[in-house]
Amino acid sequence: MASQIAARELFDQLQARLELRWAAGQAGESRVLESGEHLSRRPSLAGYLNIIYPNKVQILGSEELAWLDGLDARQRWETLQKIVNFRPLALVISKNQPCPADLHDACEESQTPLWISPRRGHELLTLIQYHLARALAPRITLHGVFMEVYSIGVLITGESGAGKSELALELVTRGHRLVADDAPEFTQIAPDVLDGTCPELLQDLLEVRGLGILNIRQMFGHTAIKRNKYLRLIVHLKPVGDPDHSGIDRLLGDLGLRRVLDLDVPTITLPVAPGRNLAVLLEAAVRLHLLRAKGIDPAQAFLARHSQQLKNDVSPW
């Protein structure tokens, strides 16, 4: 899913935290920055003023303004034209420094957003870079129920009617927390991290067949809801009679990997049949996943023990 952010949107999201003021170029508030492969290389999303590899958000600190003041009139005019012609998403002046009149005029004429903040340059760089990286990170929506179970993010998937919502409701009553039902959104905020959140429209809601839509926060309290969680495990519900399930390994279980964006997420398939306590099985699956993450695999330990037993047994024949 392609992501983008407009200058006005970025300003509104960071205004309170960075105490931003719009100094010039407000007509360019609709200027948009889109995600793309080129953002992983130069230019970067945010950085100090750079004429050779212009950043998407250019920060002007004391050194940058002093460098501009050291140019002669013609060089200064040419440099300012280069800055605005690169069409950055915004220019930001740090430490409430006075905005040069010619820079103000250049931004007004080119409709380049120009902001001023009392924060130091490194604070602006860190916060803006982090915010843009999250806003423009690869994003995908998956079908399922996203839960926090034993402190890790677990996505419950399966065909319609497999019992995902009923299982989620049972897990909530057992003290686990709901993140999102039906359409959780996952954002790859780092090479090995998928952050799962709930769309605003579905916040706090869980749809259960026969009961309709339930507000989990109102029914079970604020502690039953989790705002976001990193995806660590997928549990897939599949009917016992499914032909693809006939070859399940009784010792090792039905394990696999599912590709989500650029990450392979461990997957455990649980057979669904009448009378099976899926909540207990899912909790056991999560505990088993945590053990394997520590390098402890009961199945492999049993196979090693079995092999050792065969070696120790001396046949009388």
Question: Binding site annotation covers 162?
Answer: yes
Concerning whether 38 is annotated as a catalytic residue, the answer is no
From 31, 177, 181, 182, the catalytic residue:
182
Asked if 164 is an active-site residue, the reply is: yes
Among residues 250, 259, 294, 311, the one annotated as catalytic is: 250
182 is catalytic: yes
Active site residue 250: yes
Distance of CA 2 to the CA centre of its chain: 14
Tokens of 161: 């009617």
User: Was 159 annotated as part of a binding site?
Assistant: yes
Q: Is 207 annotated as a binding residue?
A: yes
> Is 165 assigned to a binding site?
yes
Q: Would strands 114-116 and 90-93 be described as parallel, antiparallel, or unpaired?
A: parallel
Q: Which residues contact 107 (CB under 8 A, 6 or more apart)?
A: 23, 24, 25, 84, 91, 113, 114
Of the residues 56, 131, 139, 164, only one is catalytic, namely 164
Catalytic residue (choose from 17, 143, 174, 227): 143
161 known ligand binder? yes
Which DSSP string corresponds to 160-199? TTSSHHHHHHHHHHTT-EEEEEE--EEEEEETTEEEEE--
C-beta contacts of 38-44 below 8 A and 24+ residues apart:
39/136, 44/129
Q: Is 160 one of the annotated binding-site residues?
A: yes
Residues marked active site are found at 143, 164, 182, 250
- Write out the binding residues: 158-165, 207
- Write out the binding residues for Mg(2+): 165, 207
